């Protein structure tokens, strides 16, 4: 069993269940000029260095779609295979990024990253629980799945 942060996923041999949503946040170095704005919109990212996760990352594709639809040209796009490395580069002031809130939480709490207040509709992606359809689910795994549904579902309602 695994959890994925993506809006869609298809595989013929897997069971897929949406169990919640994860908020996405646009982050920058705390001294970045955009942090002084009450809210930002996609046009504010024109000319900015944008740091993104791998190309197969669904929230990256969604953010790129927002940029494309608004005809916003970033200064450059840098791609990272490691979220940890991406975060360190944003902390160092290399550019801005979009991340699941949970991935940026520690750095924002410690003041190493700042969340830019997004003016447009909320950014989020689904939390999917997936498992092989032909595999036996032990009672312990079934209990964990039930708890996960409850916890992630309650988180989604609170968000």
Question: Does residue 155 register a pLDDT over 60?
Answer: no
Query: 103 versus 9: which is more confidently predicted?
Result: 103
* Residues 38, 10: Cα–Cα separation, whole Å: 39
Per-residue pLDDT averaged across 114-120, rounded?
A: 85
* Residues 49, 86: Cα–Cα separation, whole Å: 12
Place of tokens 């996609």: 42
For 65-96, the pLDDT digits (tens) are 889 999 999 999 999 999 999 999 999 999 99
CA end-to-end span of the chain, whole Å?
A: 25
Helix (H) or strand (E) holding 91: helix 83-91
Here the CATH number for the domain that contains residue 70 is: 3.40.190.290
For 2-23, the pLDDT digits (tens) are 988 877 778 889 999 988 888 8
pLDDT at 159: 46
Place of tokens 């005809």: 71
* Residues 131, 9: Cα–Cα separation, whole Å: 12
Lowest-confidence region among 20-34, 40-54, 61-75, 109-123? 109-123
Per-residue tokens: 156: 């989604």
pTM: 0.80
Per-residue tokens: 105: 């939480």
Give the range of the structural domain holding residue 137, as residue numbers without chain letter.
Answer: 2-158
Query: How many structural domains does the chain have?
Result: 1
pLDDT at 120: 67
Beta bridge partners of 132: 14
């Amino acid at each position: 069993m695994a959890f994925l942060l993506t809006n869609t996923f298809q595989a013929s041999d897997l069971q897929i269940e949406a169990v919640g949503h994860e908020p996405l946040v646009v982050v920058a170095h705390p001294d970045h000029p955009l942090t002084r704005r009450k809210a930002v919109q996609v046009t504010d990212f024109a000319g900015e260095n944008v740091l993104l996760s791998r190309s197969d990352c669904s929230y990256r594709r969604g953010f790129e779609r927002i940029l494309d639809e608004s005809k916003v040209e970033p200064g450059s796009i840098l791609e990272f295979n490691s979220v940890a490395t991406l975060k360190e580069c944003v902390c160092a002031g290399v550019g801005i990024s979009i991340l699941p809130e949970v991935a940026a939480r520690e750095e924002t709490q410690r003041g190493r990253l700042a969340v830019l207040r997004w003016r447009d509709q909320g950014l989020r992606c689904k939390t999917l629980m997936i498992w092989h359809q032909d595999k036996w689910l032990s009672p312990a795994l079934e209990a964990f799945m039930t708890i996960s549904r409850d916890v992630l579902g309650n988180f989604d309602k609170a968000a």
